[in-house]
Structures are given as C-alpha cells and as structure tokens.
Amino acid sequence: MPALSVWFVRTALFYLLLGFTFGGLLLSNKGVPYAPALWRLRSLHIEILMVGWFIQFAMGVAFWIFPRWWHEPRRGDERGAYLAYGLLNLGIWAVALPLLFDWSGVFVTIGRVVEAAAALAFATHIWPRTVGREG
Ligand code: HEM
C-alpha cells in the first residue's frame, strides 16, 4: 500500500473511532438525558462519519488499487491526490467547528467549498487512471 493510502486509511480509522464515540454519547444521552448540550455533537457525528470516514477511506483505497501504468510514475501525477488529502481534512474541520459552536452558516459554506475542492483535486488525479484492463 502506498504511503498516501496509509495516511488516508489511518486518518479514516481515526474518524471512525471519533464518530462512533460521538454516536455512543448521543445514543446514551437519548436514553438517559444527562447533558442536553451533547445534542450538538449530532452534526459532527454525521460530518465525521460520512466525510471523515466513508469518503476518506474510499479515496485511500482508490489511490491504492486503481490501474497503474507500466512506466514510472506508476500512479501518474500524484499531486491531485496529495492535495485532496490536505483539503479534505481541512474542510472537515472547517465544517465541523462552525457546526459545533453555532457560527454563521457562511463558515460552513466555506468548509463545504474546501471539501468540494478536495473532490475536484482527487478527480483530476483519478480520472486518467479510470481505464479498462487493456488501457
Ligand atoms: C458508519 C457508521 C455511522 C454512520 C454513517 C452514521 C450516520 C448517521 C446519520 C446520517 C445520522 C442522521 C440520521 C437522521 O437524521 O435521520 C445519524 C444519527 C445518529 N447516530 Fe449515527 N452513524 C453511524 C454510526 C453510529 C453509531 C455506532 C451510533 C451509536 C453508538 C450512532 C448513533 C447515532 C445517534 C444517536 C443519532 C441521532 C439519531 C436521532 O436523530 O434521533 N451512529 N448517524
């Protein structure tokens, strides 16, 4: 597995742990309401598991297993994938913090734009590798 995939997958596993922890807190608080403020974690729970875990894991595995070239560099231009890793993780917190602290929706929108930029950066890397076996 290439180093970047290791980073993607390890970071994704970190978010899985964090997201499940938040989920557990939310669930216990639903059963026995001991801290109403915990409900704020609901948006974070969703953001962290859908983007931090799912999307991040998919990108890490895709970077690893998509078809490679016979010549160097085997994975083509990797810069888009590295950029995607940085932007995705920046975007997650740019969305999560305003949600947690109830900042203006403008901040959440900025975070979403950063996440969209991560998707675009990853697409520029993976598009040329989206080929059939004979490609
Ligand atoms: C990959 C795993 C998971 C994903 C993708 C996920 C995603 C979500 C999503 C999208 C919602 C919002 C649902 C809605 O509004 O209808 C939600 C709510 C919630 N999740 Fe999770 N979740 C996951 C795992 C867990 C786990 C392991 C727990 C508990 C241990 C948990 C506890 C909760 C609770 C308590 C809510 C709030 C339910 C409510 O609105 O009444 N989740 N989750």
The vertex-44 CA angle with 50 and 3, nearest 5°, equals 50
Q: Quote the pLDDT of residue 61.
A: 98
Distance 19 CA to ligand 1 centre (A): 9
Domain count, the chain: 1
Q: Decide whether any atom of ligand 1 lies within 6 Å of the 131 Cβ.
A: no
With 0.85 as the threshold, say if the pTM is over it. Answer: yes
Contact partners, residue 16, CB within 8 Å, separation at least 6: 49, 52, 53
Q: Is residue 33 part of a domain?
A: yes
Q: What's the CA-to-centroid distance between 56 and ligand 1, angstroms?
A: 18
Ligand 1 geometric centre to CA of 21 (Å): 11
Closest residue to atom 17 of ligand 1, CA basis: 46
Whether 17 lines ligand 1, by a CB cut-off of 6 Å, is no
> Within a domain: residue 89?
yes
- pLDDT recorded at residue 66: 97
CA of 20 to the centre of ligand 1 (A): 9
Q: Would you mind telling me the total number of residues written for the chain in this entry?
A: 135
**11: in domain:** yes
Asked whether residue 134 is assigned to any structural domain, the reply reads no
Residue 114 lies in a domain: yes
Ligand 1 in reach of 13 Cβ (< 6 A): no
Tokens of 24: 């557990």
| Greatest pairwise CA separation for the chain in angstroms | 60
**pLDDT per residue as tens, the chain (135 positions):** 999 999 999 999 999 999 999 999 999 999 999 999 999 999 999 999 999 999 999 999 999 999 999 999 999 999 999 999 999 999 999 999 999 999 989 999 999 999 999 999 999 999 999 998 765
Yes or no: say if 66 and 126 are a contact pair by the CB < 8 Å rule. Answer: yes
Q: How far is CA 37 from CA 42, 58, 92, in A?
A: 10, 32, 21
Q: Which domain holds residue 22?
A: 3-129
CA pair distance 91, 16, nearest whole angstrom: 17
Does residue 20 have its Cβ closer than 6 Å to ligand 1?
Answer: yes
pLDDT in the model for residue 134? 66
Contacts 24+ apart (CB under 8 A), 23-30: 23/49
Q: Is residue 23 part of a domain?
A: yes
Identify the pLDDT of residue 28.
98
